[in-house]
């Protein structure tokens, strides 16, 4: 299809960290030649999340994370079980398993979590900090059926949710989306220079549009499969 693997676009798959997408991911990648699979993880989170983490990665105890970060971790764990993922980040485990089965590298392309947390704390206004903590506490008791409904709404109109986030939490959007998109794009571009042209990147759906734009600015072609389309894909 392509005369060189470096002409192939990077495929971006948009996921939700509390939804089991093993079947759709496998169905989407079944017939696609790949040099590597990339995931929205750093070494520390890979050590904590994956059955066979990257060598030398640190396991995160989480005790020194800010309150709202610890609360969101609890929320993701609960919703992952209630929504069928089993554990939060099940799609990252699926990606790692698929890379192992194919005998190709698993690329960790995200920023170190502790560095991200430091940048996030520095960027948050007092209003944003209070709003995040309150939202996290509410998330501890929100019914899973409400989350399913919101996931359906997000799948139908992701741009609206992104706009709402930027309005309510501009510091969060800048650090957790814009800055990380640029950094992940830089790592994918470097991997491409090192010969990994045919790459599928598994990232949270909120990153897909911004990451694709960041890659295009670097001259890297992309294909995208948004969360809604991926979720609708089933393994036949």
Question: Which phi and psi (to 5°) does residue 106 adopt?
Answer: -105, 115
The terminus-to-terminus CA distance of the chain in angstroms comes to 24
Does 125 score more than 50 pLDDT? yes
Give the Cα separation of 44 and 51 in Å (integer).
Answer: 13
Amino acid 7: pLDDT: 82
7-35 mean pLDDT = 91
pLDDT, tens only, 169-199: 888 889 889 999 999 999 999 999 999 999 9
Amino acid 157: pLDDT: 64
Q: How far is CA 200 from CA 6, 9, 42, 130, in A?
A: 13, 9, 17, 37
Identity of the highest mean pLDDT range in 54-58, 110-114, 123-127, 168-172 = 110-114
57-69 mean pLDDT = 44
Q: Would the pTM count as exceeding 0.85? A: no
Amino acid 62: pLDDT: 42
Give the Cα separation of 127 and 169 in Å (integer).
Answer: 9
Task: Compute how many other C-beta atoms are within 10 angstroms of the C-beta atom of residue 118.
Answer: 13
Amino acid 52: pLDDT: 65
Q: Give the residue with greater pLDDT, 225 vs 56.
A: 225
- Assign 120 a pLDDT band (cuts: 50, 70, 90): confident
66-83 mean pLDDT = 47
Give the Cα separation of 158 and 64 in Å (integer).
Answer: 32
- Assign 1 a pLDDT band (cuts: 50, 70, 90): low
Does 114 score more than 50 pLDDT? yes
104-129 mean pLDDT = 87
45-71 mean pLDDT = 55
């Amino acid at each position: 299809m392509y005369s060189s693997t470096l002409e192939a676009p990077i495929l971006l798959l948009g996921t939700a960290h509390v939804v089991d997408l093993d079947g759709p991911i496998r169905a989407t990648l079944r017939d696609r030649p790949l040099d590597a699979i990339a995931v929205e993880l750093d070494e520390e989170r890979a050590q904590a999340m994956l059955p066979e983490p990257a060598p030398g990665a640190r396991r995160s105890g989480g005790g020194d994370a800010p309150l709202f970060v610890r609360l969101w971790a609890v929320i993701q764990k609960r919703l992952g079980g209630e929504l069928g993922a089993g554990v939060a980040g099940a799609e990252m485990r699926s990606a790692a398993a698929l890379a192992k089965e194919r005998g190709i590298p698993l690329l960790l392309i995200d920023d170190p979590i502790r560095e991200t947390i430091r940048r996030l704390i520095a960027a948050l206004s007092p209003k944003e900090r209070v709003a995040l903590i309150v939202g996290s506490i509410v998330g501890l008791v929100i019914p899973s059926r409400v989350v399913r409904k919101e996931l359906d709404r997000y799948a139908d109109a992701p741009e609206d949710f992104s706009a709402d986030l930027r309005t309510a939490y501009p510091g969060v959007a800048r650090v957790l989306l814009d800055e990380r998109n640029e950094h992940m794009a830089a790592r994918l571009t470097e991997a491409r220079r090192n010969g990994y042209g045919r790459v599928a990147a598994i990232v949270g759906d909120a990153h897909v549009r911004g990451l694709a734009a960041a890659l295009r600015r670097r001259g890297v072609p992309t294909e995208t499969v948004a969360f809604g389309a991926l979720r609708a894909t089933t393994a036949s």
